[in-house]
Amino acid sequence: MTLTRRLPADEEVFESLASRVRPLTLKSEPVHYAKVFDAIERLVGDADVEDALRARLRGLRRAWEVSDIDGIQTQAYSMQSARADGTEATNMVSDTQLAAAWLYADLVHTDARGPKRQALAFPFRERYAAAVRVFSHLAALTVATMRLVESLRDSRLLTEDDSVWEEDVIVGASELVEEVRAFVAPLSSEMPDMRDSLELTEEWKVFTVTELLRQNPANRVRVVLRDDNGDVTAAYNAAVARRRPDATPAEWDVLVAGSIMFKFSFEIRGDRMTSAHFRDWEIFDSTNELKLASTRLLLEIHRASAMSFEVGGSELLSLVPPTFSEDERRELEVFAETVEDISSIERLTGKIL
């Protein structure tokens, strides 16, 4: 004859099921089944409850008691083994002991004590096979108990806050996506304690696309704006966002203020770049924050007489910034003030406008 016992296709999913049911089997837990039924019986008491509901309550409690995994009772079958010559015979071990040994020796602990220890004389697969039946039955009893509690709620014998029924018990997602602001600081920096302040210290900088690119030292560029006297009016830590040394001529794109891409071409001789040419710029304004940053940069450029790009402390190239008419400058100023107000509202409300 062939004896076939079906097991779950996914062993880890079953392990999760057993772990979730486990608190109802532990006497030390506040949701141990005996405590749950004691509470329900006190609640029902002498209330006007249908006989069918009381019978359901009694029957369900008895089902839990005979399924208790702390004992040695046989729920469906027991096992004993010996060598073919009749030697090394084991004790008769119930499916309850086998299942409990799987839980405590194979899943959540490394040892099995008391009656469970006798089950260690059997292979791991036998303990698991017993656990599949025992804990699947406990899961079914758990669902039946929840349905009983729901019936008591519907009969207005049980009143609980709505959150008891609405709170999530599973995540229900394969990934979590959130819009956040990230910050970066030197390795030795300490994270501020939010109980003291929600403000970050000066060493923490917003982790922008520019900062991400600048994690590679080869991408670090400093952009400096100067007036007619050669004094610095503004400076930006920029980054190379794209380089194509194999192109003819070679191409180099620099992201400034996280919002404007300056595009250059170079002639390359050996390992040196020569004859730099400014090709174009591209303004990114897909969000109000980007619009604000690019507009402020354009205003700084308007006020400057020279714009230099420095790498490793040395000037790589210098540009004469484009000039704007007075009307264009005023339009940029009004636009910057307007977008700044909109961005402030977005931060306060958490809504994108």
Chain-centre distance for alpha carbon 322:
46
Say if CB 353 and CB 338 are below 8 A apart.
Answer: no
Residue whose C-alpha is closest to residue 64's, from 147, 148, 142: 142
Residue whose C-alpha is closest to residue 213's, from 254, 262, 180, 178: 254
SS3 72: coil
Give 90's DSSP letter. Answer: P
| 272 beta partners | 269
For 251-274, give the DSSP string.
Answer: EEEEEETTTEEEEEEEEEETTEEE
Q: CA-to-CA distance for 351 and 345, rounded, in angstroms?
A: 8
Residue whose C-alpha is closest to residue 328's, from 346, 302, 350, 306: 302
Mean local confidence (pLDDT), 72-78: 93
Tell me the backbone φ, ψ of residue 312, rounded to 5 degrees. 60, 30
Residue whose C-alpha is closest to residue 278's, from 248, 317, 235: 317
Instruction: Provide the pLDDT for residue 272.
Output: 66
SS3 220: strand
Chain-centre distance for alpha carbon 62:
42
Mean local confidence (pLDDT), 302-316: 89
Q: Does 304 have pLDDT greater than 70?
A: yes
Encode pLDDT of 25-49 as tens digits.
Answer: 999 999 999 999 999 888 888 777 7
Residue whose C-alpha is closest to residue 241's, from 271, 222, 220: 220
Q: CA-to-CA distance for 127 and 44, rounded, in angstroms?
A: 39
Mean local confidence (pLDDT), 259-288: 83
Say if CB 204 and CB 183 are below 8 A apart.
Answer: yes
Give residues with Cβ within 8 angstroms of 173, minimum separation 6: none
Say if CB 332 and CB 340 are below 8 A apart.
Answer: no
Q: Does 111 have pLDDT greater than 80?
A: no
pLDDT bucket at 176, cuts 50 / 70 / 90:
confident
End-to-end, the C-alpha distance of the chain in Å comes to 73
Q: Does 197 have pLDDT greater than 90?
A: no
Residue carrying the six token digits 């307007």: 338
pLDDT bucket at 271, cuts 50 / 70 / 90:
low
Handedness of CA 101, 103, 109, 114 (dihedral sign): negative
